[in-house]
Structure 1
Amino acid sequence: MNSEQMEVKTPEYVSLQFRLAGLGSRAAAFIIDQILLGIINVAIVILLIVVIQGMSSLPAFLENSTVPIAIAIIALFIINYGYFFVCEYFSGGRTLGKKLVGIRVIQDNGHSITLLSSFIRNLLRLIDSLPTGYFLGIIMVFFHSKHKRLGDLVAGTIVVHERKAKRKKKPSGIEKEIQERGLAKENLVIDEWTLKSFKAKDWKLINTYAARFMQLPKAERDQMTRKIADLLLPKIGVEVVGESEENLENTLLVLYLHLKDEWEFEL
């Protein structure tokens, strides 16, 4: 099946276009992930063998202990299923395989995958893998109109191709201003947990701020900067009281860059 286009209308009445990832690209990403996990699994098994051999020097009543085997089995289960959950939630819907292939998991509404959605989606891998070799998941992805497996249906997620950077695109006024100020995402370190705490209303607020930034007179801009800073900057642990308007502007513009990557999905 060929990948198809999908349109999503956000709560802010913005239409987003996505290109759905089909069976081929999803299978390629999965194979890459399985190669990585296979290497880790082999390393754990080798470590288990070494530990068991080392137990031969222990007293006889400890030699038959099944503790190392039980720990290895639990570790293998957590790694093989936790890998997808952790990577997809903390890396914007991407595992290593998805990142290399150029696809990602998002919610049906076009927003980033949530903690609960990622957990449900990957928990149901146990069913999608039945009866063997992800047969059920493959069949569903192949025949479903939006290329969803059972985990996607229950979690409300879709897998789409990454947006491609548009070359030779003329920078907007706010992008020029950010460049002239020498600002970049690296100027403000925000951990993933904190970044995930920002909601759609926060993105809409700071996006509106950035859109109006160049048009507002200085007095009005300073007033808006102070109000928005009071609302958003405490979330990232930035003290607002005593800071100059220029510093607050710079911090908000860098925060805008972070949230833009998180919330603005365009092909």
Structure 2
Amino acid sequence: MYLLVVNGKPEGPYSINELKAMQIKAADFVKTAEMDDYKEAHEIAQLRTIFGFQFQAVAPQYFGAFDQRALAAIIDWLIVIGSLSIVTLIGLLATSDATVRTILLFILAIIIIPAHLAYSIAMEGSARQATFGKKILKIQVCNMDGSPINMAKAAGRNLAKIFSVLTFFVGYLICFFNKKQQCLHDMIAGTLVTRERLI
């Protein structure tokens, strides 16, 4: 027996025959008593077999929007810059030597981008699939089939961002012109940014 979401509200439970009569779609949300949460019908093997649905790992409505990605990026930059600035400030307060202070500030300036790169690779390539900024905005990075990316794929994706920047940031705006909302570096690396479900 399955509960079925109709117009945003759970209804049922319904038998398989009743679901057939209702002509449910692959993207309809359903749930059995044994399931922890609702899933789309195409995600359930029994329903795929009975209704002939094709499994789609990443549904179109779950691609991360540009504004979510931009805000997540801002949060991540603030985290990295803020953390490094605190460490640098402690160093500056620990010495009165002008030369040492200059060196500390120089190190801060040159380490920000590599630190952000390492942070992004480590977080996106982990089981979290997302940086802290992305987690806050409820988006994550995955392969084209919806599976988690590994560290190598995370490194390739983040290094490919140089091409998105070298195109005067047009590489980021490309996401407005493709259905999967991929930026240039996503297309190069073969990755997607997806968001959590509404249900």
Q: TM-score range by the shorter chain?
A: 0.5 to 0.7
Does 2:57 match 1:23? no
Q: Distance in 1 between matches of 2:85 and 2:101?
A: 22
- 1:76-105 Cα distance to aligned partner (Å, 9 max, x none): 233221111111111432111111111111
Does 2:158 match 1:158? no
8 Å CA contact 1:93–1:106 kept in 2: the answer is yes
Does 2:156 match 1:120? yes
- Displacement, 1:131? 6.2
- Displacement, 1:125? 2.2
- 1:187-243 Cα distance to aligned partner (Å, 9 max, x none): xxxxxxxxxxxxxxxxxxxxxxxxxxxxxxxxxxxxxxxxxxxxxxxxxxxxxxxxx
In structure 1, give the amino acid aligned to 2:69: R
Who is 1:55 aligned against?
Answer: 97
Identity score, percent: 24
- 1:103-128 Cα distance to aligned partner (Å, 9 max, x none): 11100122111221100111122332
- 1:24-46 Cα distance to aligned partner (Å, 9 max, x none): 22122222222322322432443
Who is 2:128 aligned against?
Answer: 92
Q: Distance in 2 between matches of 1:150 and 1:69?
A: 33
Cα distance change of structure 1 residues 67 and 31 upon mapping to structure 2, 3 Å threshold: closer
Cα distance change of structure 1 residues 64 and 158 upon mapping to structure 2, 3 Å threshold: closer
In structure 1, give the amino acid aligned to 2:134: K
In structure 1, give the amino acid aligned to 2:172: I
Unpaired runs of 5+ residues, structure 1, are: 57-62, 167-267
Q: Distance in 2 between matches of 1:141 and 1:42?
A: 32
**Map 1:60-75 → 2, pairs under 5 A:** 63=99, 68-69=104-105, 71-75=107-111
Cα distance change of structure 1 residues 130 and 65 upon mapping to structure 2, 3 Å threshold: same
- Displacement, 1:66? 7.1
8 Å CA contact 1:48–1:69 kept in 2: the answer is no
TM-score (normalised: structure 2): 0.60
**Map 1:53-202 → 2, pairs under 5 A:** 53-56=95-98, 63=99, 68-69=104-105, 71-130=107-166, 135-163=169-197
Cα distance change of structure 1 residues 15 and 77 upon mapping to structure 2, 3 Å threshold: closer
Cα distance change of structure 1 residues 16 and 122 upon mapping to structure 2, 3 Å threshold: same
Q: Distance in 2 between matches of 1:146 and 1:71?
A: 39
Larger Rg belongs to: 1
- 3-state SS of the aligned residue for 2:180? coil
Number of aligned residue pairs: give it: 147
Q: Which structure carries more strand by proportion?
A: 2
- 3-state SS of the aligned residue for 2:57? strand
- Displacement, 1:65? 9.6
Unpaired runs of 5+ residues, structure 2, are: 1-26, 28-41, 44-53
Q: Which structure carries more helix by proportion?
A: 1
